[in-house]
Amino acid sequence: MKAPSGHALLLDRGNLKRRKRVNRVIEVTSTIAALLAVAVLLIVVGSVLLKGLGALSLHFLTTPTGLFGDTSGGISNAIVGSAIMVGLAAVMAIPVGLLVAIYTTEFASPRFGHAVRFVLDILNGVPTIITGIFVFGLMVEGNKQSGFAASVALAIIMLPIVARTAQEVLTLVPANLKEAAHALGIAHWRSTVRITIPTAAGGLLTGALLAVARVAGETAPLILLSSIYGQGVLTEPGEALASIPIFIFQSSESPSPDAHTQAWAAALVLIAFVLVLNVVARAFYARSRKRMGA
C-alpha cells in the first residue's frame, strides 16, 4: 500500500519536508535492522559452514571421539548418544504432551484448562539449567549420570512445547466436524481419536518436530546429567552417553585449533539437523492450517 502523500498537507503538523525526511530515516533504519538480522544469521551459519565443512567427512561421522586430546576421531558416539537421548525424550514427551492438550481442549473445565495452560507456560519459561538441577537431584545425586536422566530432562523441556502447539492445533479443528460426530452418536473418545487428532495431525507433527529440534541442541542439563561418558559408541541409556552439544561445548573451550575445527564440524551437523527439522515443521504447519481453513 502506498502512502498517499499528496494529502499530507491535510495533517496540519510541521512541514512536509521534515516529516518526509523523518519517515525516510525510519524506513531506512528498519530496512537496515532487518538486513542486520539476516546478516547475523548468514554470518553465524556461514562461519559454521566455512569452518566446519573442511573437517566434515564420512570418517568424522562414523568414528567415535578419540581419547583425551586426540582430535583424529569423529563424533559417531555423540550422534548415537544424542539420537538415543532425544529419541527417548520424544517417546516420553510427545504422547504425554498430546494427552495434556487433549485434556485441556476436550475434557477440562475452562477454568481448569486455563490453569493447566498457565502451568505449561511457566514450565516453558523455566531455564533449562534449572530443569537440569531438578533431574540431577531426582536421579543422579548419589547415583550415576545417565543418558536416561538426560532424556527425562529433555522430555520436561519438550513437554510444554508439544502440549501448547497441540492445544493450538486442536482448537483449530472445525467444531462442525466434532458436532457431526456427536450427532451421529459417536463417543467422545472415538471422535477425538478418529476425527480430531487425524484432522490436526499435521499441526501436531509440527509441534513434535519443533520440540525435537529445540532439545537436540540443548546443552545445559546435559552437563549435569550426561557428560562423564566412556569411549566408543555407547548405547546403554543406563550409562552416561556422549552428545553433539556436549562435544561442541567441550571442544569450544579447548585451546587447540584442531579441536575448534572439530567443534565447527559438529556444529554444522547439529545446525543442519535443527534447521531441516524447522523447515519441515513449518511446511507441515502451513499445510495443516490451510487444510483446516485457519
Partner 1 sequence: MEAGALGNPVLRARRSLTDRIGDPLLRGLSGLAAALAVAAMVGIVYEVIQIASPAISAFGIGFVTTNDWNPVTENFGAAPFLYGTAVTSAIALLLAAPLSIAISIYLTELAPARLRRPVATLVDMLAAIPTVILGLWGILVLGPVMHDTIEPALQSAFGFLPIFSGDPSAFGYLTAALILTIMITPIITSVTREVFETVPSDLKEGAYALGATRWEMVREVVLPYSRAGIVGASILGLGRAIGEAIAVAQVIGGATAINVSLFHTGGTMAAQIASQFQGAPGALQKPSLAYLGLILLVFAVVVNVIARLIVQRGKLKDSDTTLTEAEAL
Partner 2 sequence: MTKRLLTVSVALALAVAVAACGSSSSDSSGGSSSSPLVGAGSTLVAPLMSKWQSDYASKSEETVTYGAIGSGGGIDQITSRSVDFGASDAPLTPEQFEEADGVEQIPWALSGTVPAYNVSGAPSDLKLSGEVLASIYLGEITQWDDPAIAKLNSGASLPSTKITPVYRSDGSGDTYAFTNYLSTVSPDFKSKVGTSTTVKFPTGVGAEKNDGVAAAVSQTDGAIGYVGLAYALSNELSMPLVENSAGEFPEPSVKSVEAAADAVKTIGKDNSISLADLPASAKGAYPISTYTYVIVPLESEKAEALKKFISYAISPAGQEFGPDLDFAPLPKQVVAAGKAAIGQIGS
Q: Which does 75 bind (CB under 5 to 8 A by kind): partner 1, partner 2, none?
A: none
Per-residue interface string for the shown chain with partner 2, residues 144-183, x marking contact by CB under 8 A: xxx-xx-xx--x----------------------------
Grid coordinates given for 111:
477454568
Binding string, residues 110-149; x marks residues near partner 2 by CB under 8 A: ----------------------------xxxxxxxxx-xx
Minimum Å gap between C-beta 72 and partner 2 is 13
By the rule CB under 8 A, 71 interacts with partner 1: no
CB-count exposure of residue 61 (10 Å: 0-12, 13-18, 19+) = middle
CA dist 130 and 121 (Å) reads 15
> Does 88 sit near partner 1 (CB under 8 A)?
no
Beta carbons within 8 Å of 89's beta carbon, 6+ residues apart: 151, 152, 153, 154, 155, 157, 158, 215
For position 146 contacting partner 1 by CB under 8 A, the verdict is no
How many CB atoms are located within 10 Å of the residue 282 CB? 13
Dist. CA 101–CA 169, nearest whole Å: 9
Minimum CB separation of residue 145 from partner 2 in Å reads: 7
Tell me how long the chain is. 294
Q: How far apart are the first and last CA of the chain?
A: 24
14 in contact with partner 2 (CB under 8 A): no
Residues in contact with partner 1, total (CB under 8 A)?
Answer: 115
Q: List the interface residues with partner 2, window 183-202 (CB under 8 A).
A: 190, 193-194, 197
Helix (H/G/I), strand (E/B), else coil: 126: coil
Cβ of residue 176: shortest distance to partner 1, in angstroms? 16
Q: How many residues bind partner 2 (CB under 8 A)?
A: 44
Name the residue among 213, 217, 216 with its Cα closest to residue 284: 213
Q: Interface residues with partner 2 (CB under 8 A)?
A: 67-70, 91-96, 98-99, 138-146, 148-149, 151-152, 155, 190, 193-194, 197, 227-231, 237-240, 253-256, 259
